[in-house]
Structure 1
Amino acid sequence: MIFDSIKVFIIFLACTIVFYFGLRAMHSEYEQFHRYDHPDGPAVKVFNSEEDFLNRFQLFFRFEE
């Protein structure tokens, strides 16, 4: 009974360590990734800042977004 508990604890500990170092590796990989760079290729601007707030608010209720 105690031997089985020790085996389960060791397996749990090994899985936890593998998971922890896997997360650290992913973090170090994506830490160098620049999310806010300008896109490459034929990008299209989605947000139109010239549209006034009242018009956008009316569209919000009209189309039930």
Structure 2
Amino acid sequence: MRSIGAFLEALWIFFIFMGCTLVFYYGILWVSAEYNDYHRYEEPKGRAVKVVQQHVDTPMLESSFERLRFFLRHGE
């Protein structure tokens, strides 16, 4: 009689584990689907302003020191 009770308890724990696993799995699928529809690089709406503008007449950066200064100044 004791082994049947232990078996039923193990079965109950198994079903709880499987239920929680399925809830977690479908939750992850839902979050993934939500973020797949999020367009990160689409045109901004409203009164957005471009922060850094690349000019055509900007000279090429000659050295790595100039490149570092440009990076620190503009935050590239």
- Residue 34 of structure 2 is aligned to residue 29 of structure 1: yes
Deviates more, 1:9-18 or 1:33-42: 33-42
Q: Deviations over 1:27-50 (max 9, x none)?
A: 11111101123445455637xxx7
Unaligned stretches of 5+ residues in structure 2: 1-5, 53-57, 70-76
TM-score, normalised to structure 1's length? 0.60
Tell me the secondary structure at the aligned position of residue 38 of structure 2: coil
Aligned residues: 60
Aligned to 2:51: 45
Q: Which runs of 5+ in 1 are unaligned?
A: 59-65
Alpha-carbon distance between aligned partners in 1 of 2:21 and 2:30, rounded to the nearest angstrom:
14
Taking only aligned residues, the RMSD between alpha carbons, in angstroms, comes to 3.0
